[in-house]
Amino acid sequence: MGYTQAPFISPAFYREFLLPCHKRITAFAHDHGLPVVLHSCGKIRPLLPGIIEAGFDALHSMEAKAGQHIVEFAEAVKARGGRMAFIGNLDIRAFESNDPKTLEAEIVPKLKAVRENRIPYVFFSDHSIPKSVNLKTYEYAQNLFQKYGRY
C-alpha cells in the first residue's frame, strides 16, 4: 500500500474504501478461527490506525528502507489498545551485503528491542531472501536470532 516515501493512498482513502473490506475479511477469518496477516510493502505507518481498526492479527513487512521500525509500530498499536504480531522489518539490504558485521548491526538492535518490549515477533527480512544472499549469511542471521531473539 506504499512506496518508500509515503503510502500510495491517503489515510482518508484507506478509511473510506479499504477499511470496510478489510473489516469484512478479518471478521470472516476470525469467525472461522483463523488469524489474518496483512502484507504490504512501502511506508504504511500513516495507515496504521485503520489497519489496527480492521483487526489484523499480524503485520508483515514493515519495510526498513521506508524508515519504518518495529518498536514504533508496536508502541502505536499498544497505544490504541490493539494487539498485533509483527513479521520482518529486517532490512534485506543487510542480508544482500553478505557481510556479518552489517547483518549484525541490522539484526541485533531490533531483536534486543523486540525482547525488551516483549513484542510478538516472527523473525524475517522485510522482503523475500534473494539468491544473492549466501547460505552462510542466512545461517549467521539465524544464529543471531537464536542468541538474541529469545524471551
Domain residue spans in the chain?
11-148
Whether the per-residue pLDDT at 39 is higher than 90: the answer is yes
> In which band, very low, low, confident or very high, does the pLDDT at 150 lie, cut at 50, 70 and 90?
confident
* CATH 3.30.1330.10 assigned to 11-148: no
pLDDT of 82 reads 84
HEC per residue, the chain: CECCCCECCCHHHHHHHHHHHHHHHHHHHHHCCCCCEEECCCCCHHHHHHHHHHCCCEEEECCHHHCCCHHHHHHHHHHCCCCCEEEECECHHHHHCCCHHHHHHHHHHHHHHHHHCCCCEECCECCCCCCCCCHHHHHHHHHHHHHHCCC
Question: What average pLDDT score do residues 127-143 get?
Answer: 96
What is the Cα gyration radius of the chain? 16
Give the cell for residue 26.
Answer: 478479518
Q: Which residues pair with 85 in a beta bridge?
A: 58
> In which band, very low, low, confident or very high, does the pLDDT at 43 lie, cut at 50, 70 and 90?
very high
Taking a C-beta distance cutoff of 8 angstroms, is the pair 34, 55 a contact?
no
Give the cell for residue 22.
Answer: 478489510
Whether the per-residue pLDDT at 61 is higher than 90: the answer is no
For 19-34, how does the pLDDT look when each residue is reduced to its tens digit (9 = 90+)?
999 999 999 999 999 9
Residues 6+ apart with CB under 8 A from 139: none
Taking the C-alpha atoms of residue 44 and residue 72, their distance in angstroms, rounded to an integer, is: 12
